[in-house]
Amino acid sequence: MTTSIRPARPGDESAIVAMIYELAVFEHVPEQCTVTESQITAGLFGPDPQAFCHIAEVDGEPAAVAVWFRNFSTWDGVAGIYLEDLFVRERFRRHGLGRAMLATLARECVEHGYSRLSWAVLDWNSPAIALYDAVGGRPMSEWISYRVSGPELSALAGPALSALAEE
């Protein structure tokens, strides 16, 4: 079994989209996954990339994906990596690919002088939590994650703009 991890490149879009969809199925929300290959092309390989991606291959077959982007720590004054998605296909789990992908991103941080690697995990995903604990990750229990999207995002954007105009 030959394993390699490399940055994604044009031509990988179908494998990336497939694994993102498989992740949505794993997380029990496939209906929420609407990403397209053209969006992945623009987001990863366009003139202004919004994210980055690494792919693990086993014997030339895409086995895992890590999609990430840079964030910035105002306290440290340097960038970090936020791991948006890490997914290992079921038949390739329990062979160290998840740990290897995290190690690859940790090296990316160290090589670029980034101060941290961070991510979120669903509270029911005990195998992932065990991996994250094993590599030295620590839950940020004092922080509560928030998100606004869909109609709520539009509603929030609308009044904010009109409220400024009224001042």
Question: Is residue 165 in some structural domain?
Answer: no
Residues spanned by the domain of 112? 3-139
Question: Is residue 87 in some structural domain?
Answer: yes
The amino acid at 109: C
Check which CATH number belongs to the domain holding 71 and give it: 3.40.630.30
Please state, for a pLDDT cut of 70, what percent of the chain lies above it: 95
The pTM score is 0.90
- Please count the structural domains in the chain: 1
Long-range contacts of 127-132 (CB under 8 A, 24+ apart): 127/93, 128/86, 128/98, 131/98, 131/99, 131/102
Q: What residues are labeled active site?
A: 132
Quick: pLDDT tens for 27-62. Answer: 999 999 999 999 999 999 999 999 999 999 999 999
Q: Residue 104 has which token pair? A: 């690859």
pLDDT reported for residue 121: 95
Cα–Cα dist 125/52, whole Å: 24
